[in-house]
Structure 1
C-alpha cells in the first residue's frame, strides 16, 4: 500500500471544497453520476475507432447502492475504468480533469459528448463522506486498484480485485448532526429525488434497488415489502427530440413535471440551434402571473443544463428583467464550467445564448399578437406592467425592443390597440399621438380635457396604470409621431374662428385672470382662457414634462421628492359660470376670490387630487348657497 500526499495547493483547495465551495451538498451525487456517465462515454468513443471493441448500449449503466447498516453509499459504473497512473493523475491533483484530457488526446470535437471535468467534482464527495474509496479496473487490464482517502491528509493506492471493468466509488457517509442531516443520503426516496432533479437526462440508465410495499394476498389490510431494481432517470430529454414527434400535451406535461407554474402555459417555444454555439431550449409564456411575481421571493431565470446535467436552477443571466416571466430551460454542450458547475467560467457563450433567446421571445410574442390576438391580450393583462417597466427602466435603453409589444385602450375602437394600429388611422393633419391618464377608463372618458381632441375626431389612448406615462416619456415618439397628453397646455391643434374670438376675449379679461392668479398664488402657474373646453366650466392643464398623473404617482412613493406639475387653471369663457366671475370681478372682489377657490377645488376633484382644506371647501359651498 502506497501512502501519498496531495500537492500543497490541492490540499488547500480540498479543504475549501469541503467547507465552502458548494452551496448545496446534494450536488455531490450529480458530480459522481456525471463522472460515471463520462466513463461510459469514453468506451463508446473508443468503440467508434477500435474495430476490436464493440459497444452494446444495453450493457452499460450506472448503479446507486446503499448499505444503511454500514452507512455506505456506492456509485458503480460499467465505464472505461482507471489504471493506477490514471488514479494518481486524476484523483491525486485537484482540478485535474481526466475527461478533459481524454477529449484533447483524442481530438474529440463532434463525437460523443464528454460531460465531466473529472477531478474537482469528484471531491464534492468529501462534503458528505468521512472516507472515500475508489475501486477501478481499466479497460484492457486484468489488475484493479483501490484508491482511498479520509480527506486533506492524503490518500493510499493499492492493488485489489475486481471482476469487471469499471469503477465503484464507496462513500462512508458522515454521522448526522443537528445542523447537517447526512442520513438523508442513505434514504431511497431522497436519492431518487436528487437523481431526478440533476441527472434525469443522463443518457445511460441510473439504477437503484428500491424497496416498495404491495398488498399481501389481495387484501389491502396487510402489506409486504419487496425490493426491485428500477431505472430512476428518463434518459431522453424532451428538448432533444424532434419537434414533429411532440404534441402540445407533451410540452404541457413537461411544464407541469418541472413545476414551472400551476397554470397552463399560453405558448411554448422550442429552440434548437446548431451553429457557432449549440444549444436547445424549451421556453414557456405563462397564462397567469405567479402569485409571488412582484415579491422579493420571486427569482427570475431559466434552468441551465450542460449536456443534460442540471447546473443551475435559476440562471438569471439568460433573461432580461422585462422577460422575467418566461419559464423554461436551456441545455448547451458548449458551456465551459469551473470547479463548482454552478459558476460559468466563460460567459461569452452564455451572453450569446441570452441574446438569441431574447430575440426569439420577442418574435414569438409579436407572432402571438398578429396571429392569435385573443391569446396575446390574455397574456398582456397579466404581464403588460412588466413590459412597460422594461421600457422605462435603464433610461429607456430597451424601448426599441419593447414598444411594438405595448397596447392601450382606444377611445375610438373601445378595445386595446397598438401604436402601429393607432398611427394607421391618424388623419393627415394630426400631429401627435394623444393620450389621457386616469384611474379608470370610465373616469378618463369623462375628463373635460378630452373634449377638443375628441371633437376633432382624433383617437385618444387611455392610460390607467401608474407606469404608463413614465414609459411613454422614455419612448418620446413612435415612427416620428410625438406623444401628447390631452392635459398639455399646448395640444398642437390649429386654431379655428372660435379660438380667435377666445384670444380676443382673453385680452379683454386679463385683469380678471390676473386677480384669480393672485388668489391661487403658489397653487397654479397661471390662469388662462381654455381653448379645449366645450361643455365644462373649468379644468387643469400642465406646462412642462411632469403631468398631474405623474405627480400623483411620485407623491405616493416612500421617497417622495415633492415633485409637482406646473398646473394651469383653464376657464371656459363660453360657460354660464364665467358670467358670474365677471360680475363678481366688477362688483365684489371677495366673492370673486370665493368663486376662484371653488373652481380650483372643483378642478382638483375632477383630477382625483386631494383638496388641501376640505373644511374650508365645504364652508365656501355654504357661502354660495346662503
Structure 2
C-alpha cells in the first residue's frame, strides 16, 4: 500500500493549543531562545542517529559529516534550520508535534502558576522547545525523513500555531529535518547575519556538533562556515570555560530556562578514565515524583551520545542531577544489559555519587542560602538515600535539614550536627516527633514535657520521614528516639522528685487506670499514667518497640498505631476529677471523650464522630445542670 500523498489537516491536541498560547506570551521577552531550542533538538536528533548507527550501520546512508545548518532569506523573511540527524516518520511527527504524547501532561498544566517567569521554566522542563518557534514565526514548515526510510516517505508538517496543522507525504533525498520559520511582523531584526551568529554563539557554542551558516568569501563565492566552537564542553580544559558557558550547556542538556544552582566538572584518570559534568538544578522538575520520569544524566562514550540514564549511572535519590558522563573505557555498542553488570559503570557511579554529595556538602557549608533553596526543592528526595544507599548513609545524614521546636520559622534550618551541638547536659538521644503534617507536629501534646525541660525535638511532618527514621537508627552514636512511642524515658534528665511523683501516681491512680481500661475495651492495648504531659489531660502513643507510629497508622488505615496506648496526666484536674467519679456510666462517657480527644490531637480520625458529639453534649448538659 502506497503512503498517502494528499495534504491532510489535523487539529492540535487541546493541551498543545494551550501550551502555544502560554509559550508565546510567557517567553516573548526572551524570544531569541527559539533558536537555541530548535538547534538543541537538531543536536539531539544527530545524537540519536549516532547511537542507532552503532547497531544498524546502514542508517548512515552516506559519508556526509553530521552537522546543523542555519540560514536566512531577507526577501522571503524566513529562517531555516536543518540537520542530517535521525529524522522522523509520519507517525513520529504526529506523536511528537501534533500532540504532547508523554506522561505528566496533566501534572504539567496543574503546575502552571500564571507567573510568566516560573511558567517559562516549566515549559523548558517539559521538553517542548520546538513550539518556541511560534514566538517569532506565524507559520512553521517542517520537512523530515526518518533514516532508513525511502526518499518518497518524507513528511511535510505545516502550521500557523493557531489550532491545526497539515501533513503530506513528500520526496526528500536527504535524511534528517529542515524547519522553515516565516517570521511575524516586527521580527525583521532576526534577518541579520551578525544577529543570528551572536545568538548561536551565546546559547549554542557548547554544542559538540558544527553549526554552520553561509559566508561570502573574498572571491565572491559562498560557502558554509562553522559558527560555534563545535567541541564537547566537558572535554575542554576548565580554564577555558566560563560560568556562562556552563549555564548555557546546562540549559541545553536539562531543557531548562533557568541557570543551575551548582555544578561539578571533573576528569578522572586511573584504573578507568571518564569525565563528569553534572549540575544541580535551581528548581524541581514537575515530574520529580513520577516513577516513569526520565533520569537527567546522559551517557557518552568517547564523546558519542549513547543513552539517557535509566538508573545505572545515578541512584534514584539523586534523580534531580542533570548532566553528562563520558567514559573512555566502555564500548560504543554498550547496552543497558552490559551497563547493569559493568565494573566500569560501578566505579563511575560510585565516584559520581560521592562527588555530588561532596558538592552538596560544600554548598551547605559555603553557600547556605543556596543550600536552603536546594533543600526546599529536593530535600525530600535526598532523604530517600538514607534507606537506598547504605554505603553513603552517614554523608547523606549530615546533609539533612529539619524544623525543630527551637526553629525560629517553619523552614528546615537544623542539621543533625546542629541538634547534637545543642543537646542538654545528660541528654543521650536525638528526639523526634512524627506527625501527619508540620502543623500537627508543632502543636502535639507529646512535646509538653520536652518544652518544659527545654529539650529540642525534631518535627517530622512529611510522608518520607517514616522511612527516614526507620532507616537511620542513630547519628554519630546518638540514638534516634520517638517522643510518641513507648514509655516516656528522659534518663538522667529526670530528677528524683519526678521519679517519686511518677511512682506515686502509678500507685494512687491504679484504680482509675483499671476502670478506664475496662471502659475503653479493645480500643486501646493499655492505659497508663505518664510524665510526658504538662497541660493536656491525655494522649495516645504507640506501644510497638520496633514499628514507628506513622508506619503503623498506614497499616491500620484509621491513622492510629496498631497498638494504641492511652496515657493520662496525673497532675491534670480532669484526671483527678475522674478518679473521684463514682458513676461508672458517666466515667465510661468521660473515658470515651478523653480517648477521642487524644485521637484528634494525634492527627488521626475518630471512628464514630456522632457518638463522640452525643457523649460530649450529654456531659456538658450534666455539668450545666450541676452548676445551676
TM class by smaller structure? 0.5 to 0.7
Query: 2:342 maps to what in 1?
Result: 347
**When the two structures are superposed, what TM-score results if normalisation uses the length of structure 2?**
0.64
CA contact (8 A) 1:499 1:531 kept: no
Matches within 5 A, 1:142-181: 173=151, 175=153
Q: 2:489 aligned with 1:478, yes or no?
A: no
CA contact (8 A) 2:314 2:349 kept: yes
- For residues 260-287 of structure 1, what are the alpha-carbon distances to aligned partners after superposition, in whole Å with 9 as ceiling and x for unaligned? 4233211011111222222222111011
- For residues 502-534 of structure 1, what are the alpha-carbon distances to aligned partners after superposition, in whole Å with 9 as ceiling and x for unaligned? 322321332221121111121111111121111
Give the Cα–Cα distance (whole angstroms) in 2 for the partners of residues 353 and 179 of structure 1. Answer: 47
Give the Cα–Cα distance (whole angstroms) in 2 for the partners of residues 294 and 265 of structure 1. Answer: 20
Pick closer, same or farther for the CA change 1:372–1:64 going to 2, 3 Å.
closer
Pick closer, same or farther for the CA change 1:618–1:175 going to 2, 3 Å.
closer
Matches within 5 A, 1:441-590: 441-494=438-491, 495=494, 496-544=496-544, 545-555=546-556, 564-584=561-581, 587-590=582-585
Shift of 1:366: 0.8
- For residues 415-472 of structure 1, what are the alpha-carbon distances to aligned partners after superposition, in whole Å with 9 as ceiling and x for unaligned? 5211112112223311210112224444323222112122222111111112213211
Query: 2:178 maps to what in 1?
Result: 189
Pick which of 383-392 and 368-377 moved more: 383-392
Give the Cα–Cα distance (whole angstroms) in 1 for the partners of residues 363 and 444 of structure 2. Answer: 34
Q: SS state of the match for residue 430, structure 1?
A: coil
Matches within 5 A, 1:274-285: 274-285=269-280
CA contact (8 A) 1:28 1:127 kept: no
Pick closer, same or farther for the CA change 1:580–1:182 going to 2, 3 Å.
farther
Q: 2:253 aligned with 1:258, yes or no?
A: yes
Shift of 1:608: 1.3
**Match among 394, 399, 404 for residue 410 of structure 1:** 404
Pick closer, same or farther for the CA change 1:127–1:257 going to 2, 3 Å.
closer
Shift of 1:187: 5.5
Pick closer, same or farther for the CA change 1:568–1:346 going to 2, 3 Å.
closer
Q: Which runs of 5+ in 2 are unaligned?
A: 1-44, 58-62, 70-82, 86-144, 156-166, 181-202, 216-220, 622-628
Q: SS state of the match for residue 262, structure 1?
A: coil
Pick closer, same or farther for the CA change 1:464–1:240 going to 2, 3 Å.
same
Shift of 1:31: 7.0
Pick which of 262-271 and 503-512 moved more: 503-512
Matches within 5 A, 1:100-139: 128-129=147-148
Q: Which runs of 5+ in 1 are unaligned?
A: 1-23, 37-59, 67-72, 76-125, 131-171, 211-225
Q: Which has the higher contact order (CA 8 A, sep 6+)?
A: 2
- For residues 321-368 of structure 1, what are the alpha-carbon distances to aligned partners after superposition, in whole Å with 9 as ceiling and x for unaligned? 111110001122222133889965983222211111111001111111
Give the Cα–Cα distance (whole angstroms) in 2 for the partners of residues 341 and 536 of structure 1. Answer: 58
Query: 2:230 maps to what in 1?
Result: 235
CA contact (8 A) 1:207 1:231 kept: yes
Give the Cα–Cα distance (whole angstroms) in 1 for the partners of residues 476 and 318 of structure 2. Answer: 24
Q: 2:208 aligned with 1:201, yes or no?
A: yes
CA contact (8 A) 1:547 1:565 kept: no
Give the Cα–Cα distance (whole angstroms) in 2 for the partners of residues 179 and 316 of structure 1. Answer: 39
Give the Cα–Cα distance (whole angstroms) in 1 for the partners of residues 336 and 503 of structure 2. Answer: 74
Query: 1:359 maps to what in 2?
Result: 354
Pick closer, same or farther for the CA change 1:179–1:407 going to 2, 3 Å.
farther
Shift of 1:62: 3.6
Q: SS state of the match for residue 304, structure 1?
A: strand
Give the count of matched residue pairs.
456
